[in-house]
Amino acid sequence: MIIRKKYLFYVLAITSSFIAAAVTGVDSFVGSQPAFKYDPWAFAFALFFIGTLITLLITLSLSIKIKGKSLGAKILDPSFKQLRLVQKSEMKYHLIAGLMNAINTVGYCAIISIVQDPSVILSFSQIVILYLLLMESITEKDVPTLVEIQSSVIVTFGAILASISLTGEFQLFPIFIVFLVVNPTWAVFSIYQRKLKIMKIHNKPNDSINIRFWNVFFSCLFTALLLFIYDLFTSGNHLITGFVTSIDPSYFLLLVLTMGTTFFSYVLYIRSLGMGKASVNNAIRASTIIFAIPFSIILLQLGTITEFSTDPVMLIIKIIGMVLIVMGIISFALTVVKSYIFITVKPGSPIRDTMQKLWDIRGVSHVSVTSGKYDFIVKVSTRTLMKGYERIIRKLDEIPEIKKYHWDSVLKDWEKI
């Protein structure tokens, strides 16, 4: 099926956010259980330990072939074939992403053991979008444009407003955890998951299902290691408590439910990371706050959470925040300009060197060496045409090997999924 790639990107990111909102509700309930409430470290290990088992089981099920194609390829990610071992080229990225996810989850567990309402928990972490913008300007060859910064700030402020504590409680300790632990680790985790997704494995696109499985596996290892060191120095037993509690029948099914659902949220998130920058993905992911509200109400009705204010002033502030989030996301969606540049080079020009010079230009997403009328077809993505001129055309003019080029802007495009 060929659909508009932009739609697919937003469908993936928003569906992932919706599932994430449901997971946060369940997490909040599981985290408030007596065994985990005062021991978030044990909760983190229990999550990853059961997560590894359930993710392995789901991945194996998705590896089942139906008419020559795996079930996972049919329903989740067309690039997925079957569960496979980590390739040497991926290892570094998996180790960093796993470590970051482990630290992030420990921080997250510490927060949800302090604050119960999921919409409150999610609030502080939205500033990660700004962290990502900053990091992407360093790590990626695509610095943020003014429109991206504006949209990100709108989404971030919207997210803060939308998730201000409904009870008016503003606890300093969880905010410190968010700023110093959760946000930086999530930013690095997102960037490395994106790097993994855009990698080619045996000349084919990497798949999000294997990326997720190995991420949970490495996160589990790192969490175990961190807890082991922590227990050693504090004479605690968080690691053993986590393990024992995870196999306790009264918690096992809850952990399976939360990590099983998380798997689908992350697979879609990783897929969407392969299509757009991590900052834009996380801006869309801010819609989790909106989706978390109905889940909070359901949990309140079920009696699993006890606090949910209906103060009209707070509700108005939250609605304003939600409107800002939606406006920011729409602003991201409507401000991408994609173009093709068709290039002819002078005879005798070194093709590989010219290819590298073209690739080094910021905003270039594809460089193809072609045979035929043109020597290169370059695809570029910018937020504005003016930026395209400043950033790309000027740079093209500086490449002496180029004889002639012409720029054709993309008005609309579709892609096979």
Partner 1 sequence: MISAYILITMTPGKTDKAIKEMRQLDNVAKISIIAGEYDIVIRAQVKNLEELLTVTDKIQMIEGVTKTTTQIIEKEISLQ
Q: Provide CB contacts within 8 A for 397, sequence distance 6+.
A: none
2 near 412, Cβ under 8 Å? no
Q: Cβ(46)–Cβ(172) under 8 Å?
A: no
Residue recorded with tokens 């946060």: 24
In angstroms, the CA 282 to CA 131 distance is 11
Q: Which is nearer to partner 1, 2 or 85 (CB)?
A: 2
Helix, strand or coil, per DSSP, at residue 146 = helix
User: Given the complex with partner 1, which of 63 and 206 has the nearer CB atom?
Assistant: 206
Nearer to partner 1, 51 or 276 (CB): 276
Q: Least distance (Å) from partner 1 to the CB of residue 409?
A: 5
CB of 89 to partner 1, least distance (A): 16
Nearest residue to 124 via CA among 163, 69, 168: 163
Q: Least separation, in Å, of the C-beta of 187 and partner 1?
A: 19
Least distance (Å) from partner 1 to the CB of residue 414?
Answer: 5
Residue 176, CB half-sphere, CA atoms under 13 Å: how many? 4
C-alpha distances in Å from residue 61, one per residue of 53, 171, 356: 12, 43, 42
Query: Please, what is the minimum distance in Å from the beta carbon of residue 12 to partner 1?
Result: 13
Task: Give the containing element (helix H, strand E) for 379.
Answer: strand 376-382
Which lies closer to partner 1 via its Cβ, residue 92 or residue 141? 141
3-state secondary structure of 140: coil
CB of 411 to partner 1, least distance (A): 5
Q: Residues 59, 60, 65, CA angle at the centre, nearest 5°?
A: 105
- Bridge-based pairing of strands 376-382 and 337-345 is antiparallel
Looking at the Cβ atoms of 88 and 373, the one nearer to partner 1 is 373
Provide, rounded to whole angstroms, the least separation between the CB of residue 44 and partner 1. Answer: 32
Please, which residue, 87 or 365, has the CB nearer to partner 1? 365
- Is the separation of the CB atoms in 414 and 4 below 8 Å? yes
Q: Pick the closer one to partner 1 by CB: 13 or 22.
A: 13
The binding site for partner 1 (CB under 8 A) comprises 2, 5, 198, 205, 274-275, 338-340, 342, 351, 355, 359, 365-374, 377, 379, 406-416
Give 195 or 238: the residue with its C-beta nearer to partner 1: 195
What's the min distance (Å) between Cβ of 18 and partner 1? 24
Residue 80: alpha-carbon gap to chain centroid: 18
Q: How far is the CB of 385 from partner 1 (least distance, A)?
A: 11
In single-letter form, the type of residue at position 117 comes to D
Name all contacts of 78-82 with Cβ < 8 Å and 24+ positions apart. 78/417, 79/204, 79/205, 79/206, 79/207, 79/208, 80/207, 80/208, 80/209, 80/210, 81/207
Give 39 or 77: the residue with its C-beta nearer to partner 1.
Answer: 77
- If the CB atoms of residues 194 and 318 are measured against partner 1, the closer one turns out to be 194
The number of CA neighbours under 13 Å toward the Cβ of 201 is 21
Q: Report, in Å, the least distance between residue 6 CB and partner 1.
A: 12
- For 38, counting Cβ atoms within 10 Å of its Cβ (0-12 exposed, 13-18 middle, 19+ buried), the class is exposed
Helix (H, G, I), strand (E, B) or coil at 207: coil
Extract the tokens encoding 265.
């949220």
